[in-house]
Amino acid sequence: MDEPSHPHHRPLARQALRTPRAAAVAGILFAVLFTISVGLMRLAIPENIARADAYTWLQTNAGTVQFALMLMPFAGIAFLWFIGVIRDRLGAHEDQFLSTVFFGSGLLFLAMVFSSAAVAGGMVSAYALDRETLETSGVFTFGRFVIYTITNVYAIRMAGVFMLSLGTIWMRTRVMPRFLVFLTYILAIVLLVVINMTAWVMLVFPLWVFVISVFILFVSVRGDGEHAK
């Protein structure tokens, strides 16, 4: 004789179905916030760090930079949720070696982005407190090079490693369609090889996260519809 269903079982099952959808939305949120934040900073801060008057952006665009920096922590929180949904979709098929590379590179990417943002925020605050000292001490030039190096040399390459390891996991487990795996490999190589051509290449990563999150959201919604029938 079948046991009667417990009244608490249905909410738990419904919650399990909604978890991938909520995390996929977090991935989309990361892509939007990160793109806005990076885009505003790229527009506000001159890309040519060799210019003698490069510090003038602190006079005219400090408010824009501060707003962009305010968005970055929320983008980072959403990115952690995105990592969570990826691991949730892997489930028992998760490879410990590749998952370690995937998880570690994701955290390193986030830590480096936060470090770069913190340096930029420190420069804006220092300029507001003591403009002359910042312009004449060499701290400004040093900070500009630190931001550029952390972001365009280290952080974005960690994003490429994140994508390569995740693409390999998807190739082995087949939890994602093959066209998304190939797309992941191609974009990861772009981040690893041609990043020094332009700082705007960094936006390839949030665009990729957006595409993956939309696909996961679509699969989750379609799965809920099939269960409802």
pLDDT tens, position by position, 127-147: 778 777 776 777 777 888 888
Average pLDDT value for the chain: 79
Per-residue model confidence as pLDDT tens digits over 50-104: 454 556 777 777 788 889 999 999 999 999 988 887 777 666 666 778 888 988 9
Amino acid letter for position 85: V
Average pLDDT over residues 165-177: 86
Q: Which of 34, 32, 31, 50 is nearest to 42 (CA)?
A: 34
- The pTM score is 0.80
Q: What is the DSSP letter of 202?
A: G
pLDDT: which is higher, 55 or 115: 115
Residue 11 has pLDDT above 50, yes or no: no
Amino acid letter for position 70: M
The whole-angstrom separation of Cα 122 and Cα 119 is 5
**Helices marked H in the chain:** 9-44, 57-60, 62-90, 96-129, 131-137, 139-149, 156-173, 178-193, 204-228
Per-residue model confidence as pLDDT tens digits over 29-43: 999 999 999 988 888
The whole-angstrom separation of Cα 168 and Cα 104 is 15
The encoded tokens of residue 180 equal 């998304």
User: How many beta carbons lie within 10 A of that of residue 131, not counting itself?
Assistant: 13
Residue 1 has pLDDT above 90, yes or no: no
pLDDT: which is higher, 88 or 187: 187
